[in-house]
Homo-oligomer: A and B are copies of this chain.
C-alpha cells in the first residue's frame, strides 16, 4: 500500500557483497564506552568492565512476523531493533550493542536495504545502542532478519522471571492491546485493498494504535524510573505474546499463582474505540493481543508507596500461592481461570517472540 515506485532502484548485485557492507556500515559510529571494536573483523570486541553480559536474539521472517504490504521497511528496521532492546530492559538493564543479520531476495533493491537501515539506525541512535557486527546475505525468497542484542549490568541488578514472591504486586507499564488493534486495522485495510486496489486505506484517526503496531518502543525509560525510585522488581519480563501468556510465564517460573483484575488493565481510549469498531472485547486485546513491549513486573507490597505515584505504571493484581491458580477477576467480580480466556479465531500473531 505504501510502496513508492517513483523512487530510484539500484540492484544490490551491482555493488557486490563487500560494497553493500561498506555502504551500510560506512556511517556507523561507536558511542558506548564498552564498544572497543565494531564492524570490520571476524568478531566485535566488547569491554564489560566487571559487569555481567546479557544476550538475547530474535528472528523475524517476512510473511510470519511482518507484512511488507503495510510495514514500511523503515518502520520494520526500527521495530526489529526495539523488540530486541525490550528483551534487555526485561532483565532490568539497558541495551548497549547489537549485531544485525539480514537475508534478502533479489526483489529488494539497495534503496530497500537502506530504508531498513535508516529505521534501524534511528532506533540505535534513540536508545544509544552501537551496531557492532552482522551478516548480509541473499535469500531465495523473502526477507529474514536476525538481531542479537547485548546489555551490560551489575550482577546484583539482574531481574529474572523466577524471582516473584507470594503477595507481590503485579505491575505493568504503559497500556495494553493497542498494537493488536493496529494490526487488525492494517489487516482489514489490506483485505479491502486486495479486493479493490483503487480503494484508499482508511487509517485516519488510528494513528496511536497503528504506531503501537508499526513502531513500538522499548521501555528502558521505566528501568530508569524504577531505579530512581529505589524499586528493584522481584521478577520481570516484557509483554510480547500478550499479558496472559507472560503472567503465566512468571507464575510458572516463580512457582506461584496470580489474581489479575480486569478493571485494572491499562487500556487506552483509542484501543477501546478500535475494539468497539470491530465489535470485540478490549479486555481480550489487552490479555492476548501481544506486541505491546510493555514491562510486566512484580514488586513487594512494601514498595507500594514508592510505586503509586509513577504515572506510567499500573498495579493490575497480586501473586498468590501456586494452588490458587492464575485467575482473572472480572468487572463483575467473578474469578475465572486466566487459561479459560481462549478466544476462537484469535489467531493473528505477528510477533511470536521466544527467547526461551
Residues of A within 8 A of B (CB): 17-18, 21, 25, 36-37, 39-48, 50-59, 61-65, 87-88, 90-91, 97, 99, 101-103, 132-142, 144, 146, 148-151, 155, 158, 160-162, 237-238, 253, 352-356
Contact across chains for B43 and A91 when beta carbons are under 8 A apart: yes
Write out the residue numbers on chain B whose beta carbons fall within 8 Å of the beta carbon of A47. 52-53, 155
Contact across chains for B36 and A52 when beta carbons are under 8 A apart: yes
State in angstroms the CA–CA spacing of A57 and B149 once bound together: 11
Contact across chains for A158 and B59 when beta carbons are under 8 A apart: no
Other-chain residue from B55, B90, B150, B352 in contact with A137 (beta carbon distance below 8 A):
B352
Other-chain residue from B18, B21, B140 in contact with A62 (beta carbon distance below 8 A):
B140
Write out the residue numbers on chain B whose beta carbons fall within 8 Å of the beta carbon of A135. 57-59, 146, 353-355
On whether A132 and B55 interact (CB within 8 A), knowing A103-B61, A146-B101, the answer reads yes
Write out the residue numbers on chain B whose beta carbons fall within 8 Å of the beta carbon of A41. 91, 160-162, 237, 253, 355-356
Write out the residue numbers on chain B whose beta carbons fall within 8 Å of the beta carbon of A52. 36, 45-48
Other-chain residue from B43, B142, B144 in contact with A90 (beta carbon distance below 8 A):
B43
Write out the residue numbers on chain B whose beta carbons fall within 8 Å of the beta carbon of A61. 103, 137-140, 144
State in angstroms the CA–CA spacing of A41 and B237 once bound together: 8
State in angstroms the CA–CA spacing of A36 and B53 once bound together: 10
Q: A42-B87, A42-B91, A137-B354 are in contact. List 5 more A-B contacts (CB 8 A).
A: A41-B162, A42-B238, A42-B355, A46-B54, A140-B142
State in angstroms the CA–CA spacing of A55 and B151 once bound together: 13
On whether A64 and B138 interact (CB within 8 A), knowing A42-B56, A43-B88, A148-B57, the answer reads yes
Contact across chains for B140 and A42 when beta carbons are under 8 A apart: no
Write out the residue numbers on chain B whose beta carbons fall within 8 Å of the beta carbon of A42. 56, 87-88, 90-91, 161, 237-238, 355
Contact across chains for B56 and A43 when beta carbons are under 8 A apart: yes
Write out the residue numbers on chain B whose beta carbons fall within 8 Å of the beta carbon of A136. 354
Contact across chains for A134 and B57 when beta carbons are under 8 A apart: yes
Write out the residue numbers on chain B whose beta carbons fall within 8 Å of the beta carbon of A134. 57, 355
Contact across chains for B54 and A44 when beta carbons are under 8 A apart: yes
Other-chain residue from B36, B39, B87, B144 in contact with A43 (beta carbon distance below 8 A):
B87
State in angstroms the CA–CA spacing of A104 and B51 once bound together: 36
On whether A59 and B151 interact (CB within 8 A), knowing A39-B356, A45-B52, the answer reads no
State in angstroms the CA–CA spacing of A101 and B150 once bound together: 16
Contact across chains for B352 and A133 when beta carbons are under 8 A apart: no
Write out the residue numbers on chain B whose beta carbons fall within 8 Å of the beta carbon of A18. 354
CB of A229 to closest CB in B, whole Å: 21
Contact across chains for B17 and A151 when beta carbons are under 8 A apart: no
Write out the residue numbers on chain B whose beta carbons fall within 8 Å of the beta carbon of A59. 101-103, 135, 137, 144, 146
Contact across chains for A40 and B356 when beta carbons are under 8 A apart: yes
Other-chain residue from B53, B58, B356 in contact with A21 (beta carbon distance below 8 A):
B356
CB of A81 to closest CB in B, whole Å: 15
CB of A24 to closest CB in B, whole Å: 11
Contact across chains for A137 and B57 when beta carbons are under 8 A apart: no
State in angstroms the CA–CA spacing of A58 and B139 once bound together: 14
Write out the residue numbers on chain B whose beta carbons fall within 8 Å of the beta carbon of A237. 41-42
Contact across chains for A55 and B133 when beta carbons are under 8 A apart: yes
Contact across chains for A63 and B133 when beta carbons are under 8 A apart: no
Q: In the complex, which residue of chain B has the Cβ closest to the Cβ of A54?
A: B43
State in angstroms the CA–CA spacing of A201 and B56 once bound together: 42
The 8 A-B pairs of least Cβ separation, nearest first, read A146-B146, A42-B90, A43-B56, A63-B140, A59-B101, A43-B54, A148-B148, A46-B53
